[in-house]
Amino acid sequence: MQLSFEFFPPRTEKGKQNLKLVRQELTVVNPHYFSTTFGAGGTTQEATLETVLDIQANDNISAAPHLSCIDSDKLKILSLLKQYQAAGINRVVALRGDIPSGVRDIGDFHYANELVEFIRHEFGNYFHIEVAAYPEMHPQATNMNTDIEHFVNKIKAGADGAITQYFYNADAYFRFVDEVQKNGIDVPITPGIMPITNYDQLLRFSNMCGAEIPRWIEKRLSTYGDDLASLSAFGFDVVSNLCDQLKSQGVESFHFYSMNKTQPSLLLAQELK
């Protein structure tokens, strides 16, 4: 079983200390790698570099920086990748990113497949490249078929695997994997697992990224109000059942959106081991 955990780059000293502790606590499940998100348009880019260099230097676990190409150019991306290579980092999550509001010139890259091609062209097979997958369709895609075609293009451009947007409906994941396989693609598509601990935040994220919260789950979550313990217990049950379902049907890798917290990702991961 391959387990990976995603962090966002902390910017305060307190956040940095907290993340060090979280990383240490998560090592008990022997993670395959720790990934760190990257803000389009420069917002968290320095912090991403700092976080991944710290992971690579101090944890005995591979660091995988996310890298979004929108609003960037080939020189900047090349320079960043060279810094990663110099630090011994050989895994990246290659993304388009979201177009920052007000930006007119989106730079040298339009879509993630162009970034994958660029990395392969410049670095050959040095980097292991993951890309994003959307079992419930990317929110800007016109339909599922073209979205799958675009996904297939990213793999054909040289990606080694994919991590999905989070979902709470295992059927959407399995159908997506089936359809991708029908296109002759057989790379690992790792489900992204989002623990449920905060109703408002989950609604906000889901509205932005197009991940569906099934009605029955949303109705239940909405009844807990300030009772965070009951909400978390219910959320844990839902996500733990989802992981069981995925594992029982042969899924062998899981990526946790940890939100820089040890729990409940650690407990969910321990159940899978």
Q: Of 111 and 174, which has the nearer Cβ to ligand FAD?
A: 111
CB of 270 vs ligand FAD, minimal distance in Å: 22
- Helical segments of 112-169, H only: 112-123, 144-156
Q: Of 74 and 220, which has the nearer Cβ to ligand FAD?
A: 74
Query: How far is residue 120's CA from residue 17's CA, in Å, rounded to a whole number?
Result: 35
221, 234 Cβ separation under 8 angstroms: yes
Which of the residues are catalytic?
6
Instruction: Tell how many helices (H) and how many strands (E) occur in the chain.
Output: 10, 8
Helix (H) or strand (E) holding 229: helix 228-248
27: which DSSP letter? G
Q: For the chain, first and last CA: distance in Å? A: 7
How would you classify residue 185: left for phi > 0, otherwise alpha for psi between -120 and 50, otherwise beta?
beta
85, 123 Cβ separation under 8 angstroms: yes
CB of 171 vs ligand FAD, minimal distance in Å: 18
CB of 227 vs ligand FAD, minimal distance in Å: 31
CB of 206 vs ligand FAD, minimal distance in Å: 13
Q: Of 11 and 220, which has the nearer Cβ to ligand FAD?
A: 11
Catalog residues that contact ligand FAD under the rule CB under 6 A. 37-40, 66, 68, 93, 95-98, 111-112, 132, 138, 140-141, 147, 150, 154, 163, 165, 192
Q: Of 163 and 246, which has the nearer Cβ to ligand FAD?
A: 163
